[in-house]
Amino acid sequence: MKILIVNGPNLNLLGRREPEIYGNVSMEDFLLELRNEFVQDEILYYQSNIEGELIDRIQQDDFDALVVNFGAFTHYSYALADCLKNIIKPKIEVHISNIYQRETFRQKSVTAAHTDAILSGFGLTGYQLAIRYLIK
């Protein structure tokens, strides 16, 4: 199975950005762990700080399932929500931190309604849990 992980703004800073919230492991290192754990599957990865580039990547349609962490776009991007609404493949939204314990504006996801599930607060393990669910 081909699983595409799409990360939004500032997630390229994992391991350096607010380690007390997001941990100290870089996404590149974590991707190596994921690919070693799920060797029978292909883990594709894309990150951008630009909303339209995220939409363009998701619409390429070269994957079987989708894991998204849109970062701050989660809370206000109706363009990404519309994009997800039109993707007829399994998809899970992941948040490293528990968005419901954060600032009020972070407690709403406009994109989650167009995913099959949401994982919030499991740290990077949320990506692993999402992939496990998608491949079963």
The answer to whether 69 is a known ligand-binding residue is: yes
Task: Answer yes or no: is 61 a known binding residue.
Answer: no
Other Cβ atoms less than 10 A from the Cβ of 136: the count is 5
Q: What angle do CA 46, 132, 92 make, to 5 degrees?
A: 50
Tokens of 26: 């870089």
Per the rule left: phi > 0, alpha: psi between -120 and 50, beta: everything else, 90 is beta
Residues recognised as catalytic: 22, 95
Q: Is 49 assigned a ligand-binding role in the annotation?
A: no
Give rounded-to-5 percent helix, strand, coil for the chain.
Answer: 45, 20, 35
Is 97 annotated in some ligand binding site?
yes
DSSP letter, residue 125: H
**Residues 3, 41: Cα–Cα separation, whole Å:** 7
* Per-residue tokens: 95: 């948040």
Numbered residues of the known binding site: 69, 75, 82, 96-97, 106
Numbered residues of the known binding site for substrate: 69, 75, 82, 96-97, 106
